Protein backbone atom coordinates (compact mmCIF):
# COMPACT_ATOMS: atom_id res chain seq x y z
CA UNK A 1 0.00 0.00 0.00
CA UNK A 2 1.06 3.57 -0.69
CA UNK A 3 1.11 5.81 2.38
CA UNK A 4 -0.90 8.99 1.84
CA UNK A 5 0.12 12.23 3.52
CA UNK A 6 -3.41 13.06 4.63
CA UNK A 7 -7.05 12.94 3.59
CA UNK A 8 -10.08 15.19 3.86
CA UNK A 9 -13.74 14.30 3.82
CA UNK A 10 -16.23 17.04 3.05
CA UNK A 11 -19.85 17.43 2.00
CA UNK A 12 -20.45 18.16 -1.69
CA UNK A 13 -23.64 20.22 -1.88
CA UNK A 14 -24.15 19.62 -5.62
CA UNK A 15 -23.83 15.84 -5.40
CA UNK A 16 -25.41 15.67 -1.93
CA UNK A 17 -22.70 13.23 -0.91
CA UNK A 18 -19.46 13.15 1.04
CA UNK A 19 -16.24 13.32 -1.01
CA UNK A 20 -12.94 11.90 0.19
CA UNK A 21 -9.84 13.76 -0.99
CA UNK A 22 -6.61 11.78 -0.64
CA UNK A 23 -3.29 13.66 -0.80
CA UNK A 24 -0.23 11.69 -1.95
CA UNK A 25 2.65 14.10 -2.55
CA UNK A 26 1.39 16.50 -5.20
CA UNK A 27 -1.25 14.04 -6.41
CA UNK A 28 -4.87 14.53 -5.29
CA UNK A 29 -7.47 11.76 -5.62
CA UNK A 30 -11.17 12.47 -5.04
CA UNK A 31 -13.67 9.68 -4.44
CA UNK A 32 -17.09 9.30 -2.83
CA UNK A 33 -17.21 6.76 0.02
CA UNK A 34 -18.11 3.23 -1.09
CA UNK A 35 -20.90 3.00 1.48
CA UNK A 36 -23.57 5.71 1.81
CA UNK A 37 -22.92 8.06 4.75
CA UNK A 38 -25.57 10.33 6.24
CA UNK A 39 -25.17 14.09 5.82
CA UNK A 40 -25.21 14.51 9.62
CA UNK A 41 -22.84 11.61 10.42
CA UNK A 42 -20.40 11.97 13.31
CA UNK A 43 -16.70 12.64 12.87
CA UNK A 44 -15.64 9.10 13.85
CA UNK A 45 -17.90 7.54 11.22
CA UNK A 46 -16.66 10.00 8.59
CA UNK A 47 -13.00 9.28 9.42
CA UNK A 48 -13.68 5.54 9.15
CA UNK A 49 -15.38 6.05 5.77
CA UNK A 50 -12.42 8.11 4.50
CA UNK A 51 -9.91 5.47 5.66
CA UNK A 52 -11.92 2.65 4.06
CA UNK A 53 -12.23 4.56 0.78
CA UNK A 54 -8.49 5.24 0.70
CA UNK A 55 -7.71 1.60 1.52
CA UNK A 56 -9.98 0.39 -1.29
CA UNK A 57 -7.95 2.55 -3.69
CA UNK A 58 -4.65 1.15 -2.39
CA UNK A 59 -3.69 3.98 -0.02
CA UNK A 60 -2.98 3.88 3.69
CA UNK A 61 -4.14 6.87 5.75
CA UNK A 62 -3.58 7.30 9.49
CA UNK A 63 -6.77 8.22 11.41
CA UNK A 64 -5.12 11.34 12.90
CA UNK A 65 -4.36 12.63 9.39
CA UNK A 66 -8.02 12.60 8.26
CA UNK A 67 -9.67 16.03 8.41
CA UNK A 68 -13.46 16.40 8.47
CA UNK A 69 -14.56 19.52 6.59
CA UNK A 70 -17.95 20.86 7.59
CA UNK A 71 -19.50 24.04 6.27
pLDDT profile of the chain (71 residues), mean per 10:
94 95 96 93 96 96 96 74
Amino acid 12: pLDDT: 94
Cα 40 from chain centre: 15
Residue 1 confidence (pLDDT): 86
* Residues 21/7, Cβ–Cβ less than 8 Å: yes
Strand positions, DSSP E, 1-71: 2-3, 6-12, 17-24, 27-31, 59-60, 66-69
Residue 6's pLDDT is: 96
Give the range of the structural domain holding residue 30, as residue numbers without chain letter: 2-69
- Domains: count for the chain: 1
pTM above threshold 0.85:
yes
Amino acid sequence: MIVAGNADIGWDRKRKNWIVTIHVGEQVIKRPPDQPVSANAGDDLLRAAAIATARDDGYEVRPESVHVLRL
